[in-house]
Amino acid sequence: MRNARQLTTTSFAILGLLALRPWATYELAKQVNRSLSHFWPRAESNLYAEPKRLVNGGYATARREQAGGRRRTVYAITPLGRKALRRWLAEAGGEVRLESAPLLKVFFADQGTKEDLLATIRAIGEVARQHQARLRRIAREYGDGGGPFPERLALALLAVRLVWDELSATIAWSRDAAAIVERWRNPGPGEVPAWPPGLVPQPPAPSKARRSKHPGNGKTKRPPADAPRR
């Protein structure tokens, strides 16, 4: 009996991988960690449970097979799963959400110490640098002629480009934010705000018509044409 459970974004992430080929559960988790985790990180427990939910809904099948003396479950997409995946892909989605527990610590840093805040800011930058190093290692695999699904590299790089740019921006933010906080005495309240460029627009310059209304603007007023000459 099919489960009427609503499909989630994680459901479609797994269906997308199953559309490429059948996978054993541990292979799915490994591939998600290699590719999708850069922009859709999820707990490994969810990755093991989601294929079973897809089977219950009729979107995937499961078969048991012997592999190297061990039994494993291999999942494959069904026609219903492909139909659901195509329908999801046809729905335009434009919001990219930033989800960051460390930024919550930055936001509430006035409840801690300046040293705590600096440590968090620097850790954010270091994790971003480590993430970039991981992406470079994967890129070298493809550069050396390796890596799974090389025929899909153009699509993968299209998605990873935004991840790379965000990581670069995060590293720059970490450097600049640490320099700002270093000048503070306390973490936040009472310190001069450092507005990001473009967040607060500059006040408009006064127009020429507005300047002419005020005396002392350096302009000589011409007398009316019908004024008596002296």
pLDDT digits (tens, 9 = 90+) for 65-79: 887 778 899 999 999
* pTM, to two decimals: 0.75
Out of 3.20.20.70, 1.10.10.10, 3.40.1550.10, 3.40.50.2000, the CATH code matching 9-89 is 1.10.10.10
Partners of residue 72 on adjacent β-strands = 65
Name the amino acid, one letter, at 89. Answer: L
pLDDT in tens, 9-63: 999 999 999 999 999 988 999 999 899 998 888 888 888 899 999 999 999 999 9
151: which 2 tokens? 């025929």
Provide CB contacts within 8 A for 72, sequence distance 6+: 24, 25, 26, 64, 65
Count other C-beta atoms under 10 Å from residue 143's C-beta.
Answer: 10
Kindly give the residue spans of alpha helices, DSSP state H, lying in the chain: 9-18, 25-34, 44-56, 79-89, 101-107, 114-143, 153-182, 208-212
